[in-house]
Structure 1
Amino acid sequence: MTRALENIRVAIPENRYPEQLTTLLEREGATVVSCPLVRETPHEDSEGARRFIELCETGAADYVIFYTGVGVNFLLRAVNKPAALAGPKILARGPKAVAALRRAGVRIDFIADSPTTEGILETLSRQEMKDKSVLVQLYGQENAKLCSTLESWGASVTAISLYRYTYASDDDAIAKLFAEIREGRVDAICFTSAPQIRFLMAAAAEQGVEDEIRSRLSRDVVIVSIGEVTARALSEAGLAAHIIPQDPRMGPMVKALANFFERRRSACSTPSS
């Protein structure tokens, strides 16, 4: 029996769990082209983490917003005081932050209505935020929308970055990925985070192939986004996701991709009347 992704070559820029994603894809018959693009790198000093914990310990934060599981892990690796998070109300954006907090034994008061900034704001809109202090774990970049909206509600906001994004592969490895795409040897690409798109297109610009890569991805490659935030980053880069699973996890993402190619194969094999 032919598997759904038999003879399909799938590129993955995933860095944290490439083996797991590869296994899921290969079970469906795919050939995987792996090129990790983005690595989360903690800041050289732990001043941000110490300040974060201090604000929680001293009662200076009424709410704490965790965007990412990586942020939770870096925080508690730098300052191993999960008990400091017992005072403020804790909001987790999505499943990875939830999992990291639960592993650390931290109480979670809210999970965002959807794993986006809009979902966080929708959740907090049901709380009285006037004169409340909110501590935000940034994820490698500023978040003006979140901060300005909370401030417009009367809250004071402190946003702290615990890590930055860096390239996970060297120029030669990325050039090989570009060659695969340019020569038509990639049928689909699975993006699992928004920074992957920004780093991919920045590298393409640096190597002088940005227009060709964007054109090839738009015309010839099935683009998979793990969720709405990543889909938005694709749109900002002039690309569009063909597939966005309802459940923003790798397993459902692979299943959605398999279903896509099964439907395509079925449509191609159905004789026209």
Structure 2
Amino acid sequence: MGKGLNGKRIAIGGSRKTEEISTLIEKQGGTAVIRSLQGTVYPAEEQIEPDLRRFIKEKADWVIFTTGIGTETLVSVSEKIGLKEEFLAAVHEAKIGCRGYKTYAALKKLGMTPSASDEDGTTKGLIRSLERFEFKGQKIMIQLHGEKAPVLTEFLEGKGARVFPVLPYQHIPPERETVDKLCRELMNHEIDAVCFTTAIQVRSLFDYAREIGMANEIKQAFEERVVAAAVGKVTAEAIRDEGITRLLAPEIERMGAMIIELSRYYESLNS
């Protein structure tokens, strides 16, 4: 196998396993630069206690879980405040929506079967599954994970639902200096590709670009010369949500597969 990343400067948007990803890039002949767009996600147990109590008291017609760890955190916090049985009973009374196989597995452990779930691990897949239901006047609790779900919320509100979001995790944005540096590098043709390993990284980059008035220029950079590489379907969906159509995402959702896919892409251009 050739070294398709020869002469290429690849930015890594993650903050975990950066050494491992750097090694993979270097083995393919590239130069890795770490530009963490991840920020910090931390449990927000104190913040969600009032939301949990409200949900238990008022109930909901639907409960939608979007991550396995978020689902488990809600159960854990309800247990800490002595309301686990009441929380689970309130969930059982509602119809359940679910995104992602880890979320499905977490619900299965609790003996819960979703009425609607995605087929591909994406929010759009979940929305397709929800389209057949009526939501007018219904109350829906959505478990989020460190960020908002504007597409899902907009879909439900568009069908007349009252959406009640619960965030068991809070997200602290990445360092502005890091995001600004990457924006400048993208504009100055100093980066050939960006490896995104979570949807939050995509949001961080484009939220900052919009804030400084460079969103169109950054989008153009990705569409014309910089390759956006996504580790999996959910991350790829976030890139597409930003209007980027030129992206790579491996069938196998692993970092190694993402780097090989990127290397093969450049090899095919050279040949």
Using the size of structure 1 for normalisation, the TM-score is: 0.69
Task: For 1:17-28, list aligned pairs within 5 A.
Answer: 18-19=18-19, 21-22=21-22, 24-26=24-26, 28=28
Structure 1 partner of 2:141 = 135
- Answering whether residue 161 of structure 2 is matched by residue 162 of structure 1, we say no
> Amino acid of the residue matched to residue 171 of structure 2?
Y
Pairing 1:15-164 to 2, within 5 Å after superposition? 15=15, 18-19=18-19, 21-22=21-22, 24-26=24-26, 28-42=28-42, 46-49=46-49, 51-52=51-52, 55=55, 60-61=59-60, 63-69=62-68, 71-72=70-71, 74-76=73-75, 78-80=77-79, 84-85=87-88, 88=92, 90-98=96-104, 101=106, 105-107=109-111, 109-110=113-114, 111-125=117-131, 134-139=140-145, 140-141=147-148, 143=150, 144-148=153-157, 151=160, 157-164=163-170
CA positional deviation for 1:169: 2.5
Aligned-CA RMSD value? 4.0
CA gap of 1:203–1:60, structure 2 versus 1, over 3 A, is closer
Given residue 264 of structure 1, which amino acid in structure 2 is its aligned partner? L
Cα separation, 2, equivalents of 1:96 and 1:262: 35
Give the number of equivalent residue pairs.
256
Q: Kindly report which structure 2 residues correspond to 1:176-255, keeping only aligned pairs within 5 A, or say none.
A: 176-204=181-209, 213-225=218-230, 226-227=232-233, 228-235=236-243, 239-246=244-251, 250-255=255-260
Report the Cα distance in structure 2 between the residues aligned to 1:254 and 1:12, rounded to whole angstroms: 11
Change (3 A) 1:11 1:108: farther
Shift, 1:137, TM fit: 0.8
Shift of 1:188: 0.9
Give 1:96 shift. Answer: 5.0
Query: Tell me, what secondary structure is at the counterpart of 2:247?
Result: coil
Letter in 2 for 1:5: L
Q: Contact conserved, 1:38 with 1:165, CA < 8 A, in 2?
A: no
Equivalents in 1 of 2:99, 2:186: separation in Å? 33
The gaps in structure 1 that reach 5 residues or longer are 268-273
Query: How far did 1:126 drift?
Result: 6.0
How big is each residue's C-alpha offset from its partner over 1:11-52, in whole Å with a ceiling of 9 and x where there is no partner? 121235545544554554443221111335457662425533
Deviation at 1:93, TM superposition (A): 0.8
- The one of the two structures with greater contact order (alpha-carbon pairs below 8 A, sep at least 6) is 2
Q: Is 1:188–1:223's contact at 8 Å kept on the other side of the alignment?
A: yes
Change (3 A) 1:224 1:259: same
Contact 2:194 2:229 in 1 (8 A): yes
**Which whole-Å CA distance do the structure 2 matches of 1:77 and 1:9 have between them?**
43
For the 8 Å contact 1:35–1:169, the answer to whether it is kept is no
Conserved 8 A contact 1:63-1:133 = yes
Q: For 1:86-143, what per-residue CA distance to the aligned partner results, in whole angstroms no more than 9, with x for missing partners?
A: 75365431245456x27x9444624412333332233345678799764311342254
Counterpart CA distance in 2 for 1:122 and 1:215 is 30
Distance 1:128 1:114 in 2: 23
Query: With structure 2 as the length reference, what TM-score do the two structures score?
Result: 0.69
**Residues 215 and 13 of structure 1: is their aligned pair in 2 closer, same or farther, counting only changes over 3 Å?**
same
How far off its partner does 1:243 sit? 1.9
CA distance in 2: counterparts of 1:108 and 1:21, whole angstroms = 37
**For the Cα contact (< 8 Å) 1:10–1:33, is it kept in 2?**
yes
Secondary structure at 1:38 match in 2: coil
Give the residue type in structure 1 aligned to 2:208.
Answer: A
Assess, with a 3 A threshold, how the Cα gap between structure 1 residues 96 and 181 changes in structure 2: closer, same or farther.
Answer: farther
Task: Quote the Cα distance in structure 2 between the aligned partners of 1:15 and 1:167.
Answer: 12
Counterpart CA distance in 2 for 1:59 and 1:222 is 47
Tell me if the contact between 2:137 and 2:160 (Cα under 8 Å) persists in the aligned partners: no
Give the direction of change, closer, same or farther, for the CA distance of 1:93–1:179 in structure 2 (3 Å limit).
Answer: same
Assess if the C-alpha contact under 8 Å between 2:229 and 2:262 holds in 1: yes
Which stretch has the larger CA shift, 134-143 or 240-249? 240-249
Alpha-carbon distance, 1:178 to partner = 3.5
